Structure 1
Amino acid sequence: MLAGSYLLAVWTPQGQALENAALRGADQVSGQDFVSANVELHAITMVSLAALTLLVATIALVRRRVDLAVAGAGLIVLSQAITQLLKRFILPRPELVDAAGHAHNSFPSGHTTIALTVIFALILVVPYRMRGIMMFFAAPWALSIGAYTITAQWHRFSDTLGAMAVALLCACLSSWWLARRGRVVRYRGRTFRGRVILAVLIMGLTALTLAMGGLLWGAGFSRGIDFSAPDEVWDYNAYLGASVLSLGFAGLSILSFWGLWHRRDVAPAARSAGADTDSR
């Protein structure tokens, strides 16, 4: 996903033209939507990121699991380091089309990386019985940040997609590390119906937004629209497509990692590390 989004969107004239059109289309959003997006994004600072990382580590330490704190906090820190390294030093953005003020390199999105890694880290550290409540409050925020970056013209759709790939990679590495240490156990308690309903709602939203984005972008390509030429209607369609696709892929990413930890938890500190593990 990381390589594909980068190569298709950054290294092809068609990809650059489409995403630049989406940024032009964002000029048409209402003032209230633009302000709301900026408010949400400006709330993500180094201070708030440090506070969220501390929260993740604290939850793990309350469970008396230092290794879980390392996995959760390390997931956030590592993913942000990779994102910034890729964006600033490794992945260039060639000028293949007239960017009209949108030539800056922004792949991958640091804000999207933060949103997803925070919720992935919370999935790791929050006890299974409380995970559904956490998802109810955290998932809407994590789902929306990528779309907000497009509305505020901070990032392109491919930037959010690349960030999701980095976040998933680091989350899977943390999960693998915990499993290798024999810390992952099967949860044998009851099924939480509210959690099932929440998952189904996110699935429905994900399917709907992916379909809408595909139709919006597909209509332009099927008609042979030249997205490098400014056009209010097609620019706005490109923006809407980018926004809902970002929302849809965020939902897909969250569902994938949440599903990976379905009925899985980290063993309490008092239990034997080798008892009832799921690292087999």
Structure 2
Amino acid sequence: MFLAALFWACYRFFIHTKLGQWIDEAALLGGETFLKADKTRGPALAFLDYMPVVSALLAGVFILIAVLRRRDVLQPAVAGALLLGATGSTQLFKHVVLDRPDLNISGASMNSFPSGHTTFAAAAMAAIFIVVPVAKRPLVALLGWLYAAIAGASTLVLSWHRPSDVIGAYLVVAWWSVLAGLFLRHAHGNDPDRAGTASGPRPVSQMLLRFLAATGALAAAGALALAAVMPHPTIGTLQKAPLLVFLAVGLVLIIGMAMATGLVVYELFSRYGAPIRRRLVRGMK
């Protein structure tokens, strides 16, 4: 419910209020103004061109390894369902359920919330997160959400998506990840190793994830507050200096929320999710 409420709040503020649409559009225009050179957009375009294939291959390889090593198809199947469910629901939200009202902020009336590219990148990493052993999950969560942050920032650099589209994609994937964890906990039971490992030293990757998430959340809140108090003239009259500020605001929102969402998923999954077992034990759920 918490993640669904955040998704709805993000949609209502950035898509259905003038202030939210204005901040979104100013960040997008900042990207068009300062990051339009080929040397800047080229790497982002190359990354997004290969990203769907690379993400699918990575997720597919890890899922296949999980099937072969553990002889348990349930966990890999749920990981695949997470990937399909997140990407499918994003397309449903974008093209059928949600709308983008014309508030005289920009000429764009087509809804682009949430971002499909970002959803796919984050969901592929979430699928890997589910099938790796528990000890590897902090590192996979850290690297996976950094990957999702780069994917989201690249869509802004290329002017494909506004910051809110990317944040919405993160929240869709987070919701599906927690749902997958709850389902697997019901199917596999509690983690017998959780109590024994909870008191041990935390991995460096887990501490780094927490640090980046806390820093990112504070930076995102500060950036949004700055964007709210700055002047909001007609979008077409913005000068380069404020455009640069709003571009920075958009990038901070994307990267900060990626890490904060990644930590939320990791903590919720660690508390309520399922363990990794090499195979299902007879007589157990």
| Deviation of the 1:183 alpha carbon | 4.6
Deviation sequence 1:69-125 (CA, Å, 0-9, x none): 11111100111000011111221112112415x444210011221222122222210
TM superposition shift of 1:240: 0.8
Q: Where do 1:61-210 residues align within 5 Å?
A: 61-62=67-68, 63-100=70-107, 102-135=108-141, 137-187=143-193, 196-210=203-217
Seen in structure 2, the aligned counterparts of structure 1 residues 136 and 202 have a Cα distance that, compared at 3 Å, is: closer
Change (3 A) 1:227 1:252: farther
Aligned-pair Cα RMSD in Å: 2.5
1:37 maps to 2:47: no
Matching residue of 2:14 = 9
Moved more, 166-175 or 21-30: 21-30
User: CA offset at residue 128 of structure 1?
Assistant: 1.8
CA shift in 2, pair 1:247/1:138, >3 Å = same
1:152-178 deviation per Cα after TM superposition (whole angstroms, max 9, x unaligned): 211111111111121111111211111
Taking structure 2 as the reference length, the TM-score comes to: 0.84
Correspondent of 2:23 among 18, 33, 42 = 18
Decide which moves more: 209-218 or 69-78: 209-218
Question: What is the SS of the residue equivalent to 2:188?
Answer: coil
Q: Which residue number in structure 2 is paired with residue 251 of structure 1?
A: 259
**Could you tell me how far apart the structure 1 residues matched to 2:261 and 2:178 are?**
12
Conserved in 2, the CA contact under 8 Å of 1:87 and 1:106?
Answer: yes
Assess, with a 3 A threshold, how the Cα gap between structure 1 residues 90 and 270 changes in structure 2: closer, same or farther. Answer: closer
The residue type paired with residue 159 of structure 1 is D
Cα displacement (A) at 1:181 = 1.2
> 1:232 is matched with which residue: 230, 234, 240?
240
Identify the structure with the greater helix proportion. Answer: 2
CA 235–104 in structure 1, closer or farther in 2 if over 3 Å, else same:
farther
What is aligned with 1:278? none
For the residue of structure 1 that corresponds to 2:51, the secondary structure is coil
SS of corresponding position for 2:275: strand
Whole-angstrom CA distance in 1 between matches of 2:55 and 2:206: 26
In the comparison of the two structures, how many residue pairs are matched? 272
Deviations 1:171-190 (A, max 9, x none): 11211111111355232566
2:276 pairs with one of 248, 266, 274 = 266
Q: What is the alpha-carbon distance in structure 2 between the residues aligned to residue 133 and residue 207 of structure 1?
A: 17
Gaps in structure 1 of 5+ consecutive residues:
276-280
Counterpart pick for 2:34 among 6, 15, 28: 28
The residue type equivalent to 2:81 in the other structure is: G
CA shift for structure 1 position 139: 4.0
The answer to whether the Cα contact below 8 Å between 1:72 and 1:122 also exists between their aligned partners in 2 is yes
The TM-score with structure 1 as length reference comes to 0.86
Measured at CA, do residues 252 and 133 of structure 1 come closer, stay the same or move farther in structure 2, by a change above 3 Å? closer
Aligned-partner SS, 2:128? helix
Aligned residue identity for 1:250 = A
